[in-house]
Amino acid sequence: MAEKQIEATELYIEAMELQTPSATIPLQDKCIVFNLYENMFQDAVTADMMVNDSVNLPQKAPLLGEEYLNLILSNRSTGGEETSVIPGDMYVTSISDRYLTKDRQQMYMIHFTSEASMVNANTSVSQSFRGKKISDIVNTILDDYLFSDNEFVVEETEGVENIVIPNWKPFKALNWLAKRAVNKRGVPNFLFFESSGVTYFKSVDSLMKVEPNDENKLQKFIFSHIFSKDKILDELVQGRTHCTSLEVLHQYNTMRNTNKGYYASKLITHDIVKKEIKEHTYNLMMAFDPFITHTDIYMPVSPSDTTYQVQDRNSFAPDGIVGKPGEKMQSFYDSNVMFYPKHDRLYSKTKSDDYDNKVEEWKLRRNTLILGLGQIKLCLEFPGLSYLRVGQMIDLVVPSPEKVIEHKAGKIKNMEDLVDKYLSGLYMIVAIKHSVSMVDEQKYEYTMMVDVVKDALPEAPIYYDGNTKKGG
């Protein structure tokens, strides 16, 4: 029989020690709150710790920014298994918010960053690469310049590059490479990030791809205002995690999307050698082809050439300009225009060496795909699950705020409307805040705040005129 958790936030601190040049200092009894931050759009893991100090560690240790934290956190599942968060060595970067609370006692915040971040700050890459896959270049930089105890996970890329890294920090070089990398499926949405002792160079396309036999393995979440403590634990036993809070951070932004080229954009290339100027266009419809993975299947707009057409849905254009009233937003390519130089035979040794950066194949497409990740963004808070990582997919159920209508006592008429069809569904975790706070000297509470995103809808848009629904 499965072992039942006593608390949904049950946590064990296996190690929380500050390593100084001269001593090991346990911090478990001094830590009031500890926060660990992971983010797919940031290079490294960071952390901070509020300390209640009665021995004056900044002087006695002393704390000079040459120390690192050994941290291992774990929590027990309902089946009795333990999973851990092991971010690797976290190096002290600064102390802030230091003040005296009472006689012979003080509080302050210690800030940390990962080992990889410290190595990056002290290293530069100056090297040329010819005829190499971007994934091979990434592996070289990780092995030769960004050495750390982290495990490296690098997705193989398509095509070869001729490039020179001109004395850049490793993080800068890796992020620049991510912007132009294309995976084996031809999708250019790579990200470089760190999570719990692992450094990733992977495409969002591969991270989003959930195989049919993996769907049942997705972590399931449910949000409700009415769950009791016992109900929360029951949900845990059944494999569902109850979210104690849910906030919609973003839900579409037409002006931002238009200005940044999410709906449509144009690229103008200029080859100074060939004296050629070319225009290339891309729109949201192209981003929803069968070779690109999204969280769901429907675009978060209403194009006129689908079965769920809505008249005048995108009537933003007045008469007399490019495009006609009622045209979909994906037609206005001049809303965002980019320029990029091309240099024919820039790296040529012979006339037959016709290397091309092929910017038209990745720049516009990547811009649309990365912007798509912010179309619907939620912040969830729930009891800590130490095995969750950024880049993982989850399954979320969000009840609709609609009023329940009954046919008769106990018979619900609008059963199909009790779940919010657009806010529910598959999401990708893009940021995690692990938060450990002291309840008493023997007990800690572990919670997580997680930012999740989706770039598509599970169902076609349906519009409501006050009485009846349209579309679908």
Question: What local confidence, expressed as pLDDT, does residue 342 receive?
Answer: 83
**Extended beta strands in 88-203, E state:** 90-102, 105-114, 125-132, 151-154, 161-168, 190-195, 198-203
How high is the pLDDT of residue 268? 95
Interhelix angle 170-180/134-144, rounded to 10 degrees, is 170
Q: Which domains does the chain have, with CATH numbers?
A: 12-118 (2.30.300.10), 123-204 (3.55.50.10), 254-372 (no CATH)
Q: How far is CA 147 from CA 141, 198, 256, in A?
A: 9, 12, 39
Q: Where are the alpha helices (DSSP H) in 13-107?
A: 57-60
* Token output for 197: 């002792």
Task: State the pLDDT at residue 217.
Answer: 72
Inter-residue contact 406 to 412 (CB < 8 Å): yes
Q: What is the DSSP letter of 2?
A: P
183: CB partners within 8 A, 6+ apart: 155, 156, 157, 158, 190, 203, 205, 206
Spans in the chain with pLDDT lower than 50: 1-7, 78, 228-230, 232-234, 236-237, 304-313, 315, 324-326, 414, 468, 471-472
Bridging pattern class, strands 376-383 and 198-203: unpaired
pLDDT at 229 (0 to 100): 46
**Is the CB of residue 380 less than 8 Å from the CB of residue 392?**
no
Residues 6+ away with beta carbon under 8 Å from 429:
388, 389, 390, 391, 392, 393, 394, 450, 451, 452
DSSP-derived pairing of the beta strands 219-223 and 393-397: parallel
| Residue for token pair 């009415």 | 226
Q: Please indicate, yes or no, whether the overall pTM of this predicted structure exceeds 0.75.
A: yes
Predicted local distance difference test score (pLDDT) of residue 336:
92
> Between the CA of residue 251 and those of 189, 248, 377, what are the distances in Å?
21, 7, 7
- The answer to whether residues 62 and 81 touch, using CB atoms and an 8 Å cutoff, is no
Measured over the CA atoms of residue 271, residue 272, residue 274 and residue 275, the dihedral's sign is positive
Prior bond of 62 cis (ω within 30°): yes
